[in-house]
Amino acid sequence: MLGKAKLLKVYLGESERYKNKPLYQYLVHWLKEKGIGGVTVNRGIEGYGADKVLHTARFLELSSDLPMILEIVDVAEKIDPLIPEICAMVPKGLVFGIDINVYKHGKEQP
Amino acid sequence: MLGKAKLLKVYLGESERYKNKPLYQYLVHWLKEKGIGGVTVNRGIEGYGADKVLHTARFLELSSDLPMILEIVDVAEKIDPLIPEICAMVPKGLVFGIDINVYKHGKEQP
Amino acid sequence: MLGKAKLLKVYLGESERYKNKPLYQYLVHWLKEKGIGGVTVNRGIEGYGADKVLHTARFLELSSDLPMILEIVDVAEKIDPLIPEICAMVPKGLVFGIDINVYKHGKEQP
C-alpha cells in the first residue's frame, strides 16, 4: 500500500463493550480479520466528545472510561467499505479520515 | 459536523501553567466552554520542540515535563477563530491543522 | 516553519534496536542532530502491523514490544531528504506523511 492511502481515526470510550468484549479490542481483532494493513491503539489521559462529558485520569473514580484512539491505515479501497460498519459499532464516538502518503509498510518500500 | 472538518493538534509541556492551572487542563476546559466538538489529550513519553530540549520519561528527574498532545476536532468555521488565542496561550509549543473528513460524531451520522 | 509543512508518522516496535540503542531513541536523537523542528514519541497499548502479529499491553509476557509512534514535524524540504534513511532504519515499520498547516512553532507565529 505504498503511495496514496488513508488514516482512519476512531475515538471511543474505554468502557464501551461489543459482543462481550471491550469495543476497542473487538475492533482491532475485527480489522485484522478483514486484512486491514495496520492498527494501533492509544489511551488518552483526558478528553470529551459529542456528549460534552469530560473523562480524565486525574480523578480515580472517573479513570475507567478514558478516551481510546484507534489509528487504522490502509488504502481507501480497503478502508472505505468498512466505514459504515465501524460507525455502527461506535455508537457514541468520533470517526474521521485523513489522506496520507505511505513511504514504507513492512517489507514494501519504493 | 459530518463531512469536511479540521483536526487541530497542539503540543505543549506538561509543566506549563495558565491562570493557576496546568495549561492542557485549562485548554480542554476552555475549548469545551467554547462549544468545540471534541478534544482528547495524550501524554508522550519523549520529545523535543522548537527549543531543542529533549524531554523524556527515561530519567526520573526530567519526567515531569513530558510532551502533551491535544487533538481538537470541529469544523474549520468553529476552530479557525480560536487559533490566535490558542497560539497566545501556548508560548513555546507547536500548533498545526489537518484537513479531515468526519464520518461520525456522536449521534450524527450519514 | 509557519504555513505549509509536513507531519511524518513512524510506527515501530518498542524492542527494535539500532546501533546498540532502542530504535525510537536513536531516531529522536538523530532527527535532533539533523535539525528537524519537533519530534514526539507515544507508546501505544495495542496494535499490529504488516506482519499481522498483535502486540498488546493486556498480557504481561507480550508487553515489552508495544507499538511506538513518532510524530516528526518540519517543512517538506527538510523532511523529504531524510525519508529514505528513516525507511532503511525501520525495517518492519510503517512510515507515512500528512500535509499540515503550521500556525505556531516556538516563538515563530504569524
* A48 touches B: beta carbon within 8 Å: yes
Residue A102: name the closest of C41, C10, B4, C85 by CA.
Answer: C10
- In this structure, the number of other CB atoms found within 10 A of the CB of residue B5 comes to 22
Chain C touched by A39 (CB under 8 Å): yes
Do the Cβ atoms of A56 and B52 come closer than 8 Å?
A: no
Q: Which residues of A touch B105 (CB under 8 A)?
A: 49-50, 94-95
Which of C40, C42, C71 is best to mutate for the B interface (most B CBs within 10 A)? C40
Closest-CA distance of chain A to residue B50, Å: 24
Query: What is the average per-residue pLDDT within B40-59?
Result: 91
Residue of C nearest to B44 (CA): C42
List pLDDT tens digits, range C50-102: 999 999 987 765 557 899 999 999 999 999 999 999 999 998 899 999 999 99
Are B94 and C104 inside 8 Å of each other by CB? yes
Q: What is the ipTM of this complex?
A: 0.94
Query: Measured between beta carbons, which residues in chain C are less than 8 angstroms from residue B67?
Result: 40
Q: What is the largest CA-CA distance in chain A?
A: 49
Give chain A positions within 8 Å (CB) of C44: 40-42
pLDDT at site B11: 97
Q: Chain B residues with CB inside 8 Å of A92's CB?
A: 106-107
Quote the CA–CA distance of B72 and A11 in Å, as a whole number: 12
Q: Which pLDDT value is given to residue C107?
A: 80
Give yes or no for residue B62 having a pLDDT over 90.
no
B9 — contact with chain A (CB < 8 Å)?
Answer: no
Q: How far is B54 from chain A (nearest CA, A)?
A: 22
What residues in A contact C85, CB-CB < 8 Å? none
**Average pLDDT value over all residues in chain C:** 93
The SS3 assignment for A95 reads strand
The set of residues, in sequence order, having a beta carbon less than 8 Å from that of C54 and lying 6+ positions away, is: A28, A32, C46, C47, C48
- Which residues partner with B11 through β-bridges? B69, B94
Whether A50 and chain B come into contact, CB under 8 Å, resolves to yes
- C34 in contact with B, Cβ within 8 Å: no
The pLDDT of A39-46, averaged and rounded, is 96
Confidence of residue A32 (pLDDT cuts 50, 70, 90): very high
- Helix (H), strand (E), coil (C) string for chain B: CCEEEEEEEEEEECCCEECCEEHHHHHHHHHHHCCCCEEEEEECCEEECCCCCCEECCCHHHHHHCEEEEEEEECHHHHHHHHHHHHHHCCCCEEEEEEEEEEEECCECC
Kindly report the number of other CB atoms within 10 A of residue A107's CB atom: 9
Given this model, what pLDDT does residue A63 score? 57
C-alpha cell of residue A109: 518500500
Q: Which residue has the higher pLDDT, A104 or C64?
A: A104
Q: Tell me if chain B has a CB within 8 Å of the CB of A90.
A: yes
Distance CA B14, CA B5 (A): 28
CA B82 to chain centre: 12
Cell numbers 503540543 correspond to B11
Q: Is B42 part of the contact surface with chain C (CB cutoff 8 Å)?
A: yes
Retrieve residue A107's grid coordinates: 517489507
Task: Name which of A58, A87, A94 is nearest B38 (Cβ-Cβ).
Answer: A94
DSSP state of A108: B
Domains in chain A: ranges and CATH: 3-102 (3.30.70.120)
* End-to-end CA gap in chain B: 11
Cα(C96)–Cα(A6) distance, integer angstroms? 10
10 Å CB burial of residue C31 (0-12, 13-18, 19+) is buried
- Touching A (3+ Cβ pairs <8 A), the chains are B, C
Query: pLDDT per residue over C57-71, tens digit each?
Result: 877 655 578 999 999
Asked if C22 and C16 count as a contact pair (C-beta separation under 8 A), the reply is yes
Top mean pLDDT of A7-11, A58-62, B59-63 is at A7-11
Q: Quick one: what percent of chain C has pLDDT higher than 70?
A: 94
Long-range contacts for A82-85 (Cβ within 8 Å, ≥24 apart)? Answer: A82/A31, A82/A34, A82/A36, A83/A8, A83/B103
Cβ pairs B/C, distance under 8 A: 82
Residue in the structure block whose three cell numbers are 499481522: C52
Average pLDDT over residues A66-74: 97
Strands (E), C1-110: 3-13, 17-18, 21-22, 38-43, 46-48, 55-56, 67-74, 94-105
A34-A39-A45-A49 Cα dihedral, nearest 10 degrees: -50
First and final CA of chain C: distance in angstroms?
A: 11
pLDDT at C19 over 70: yes
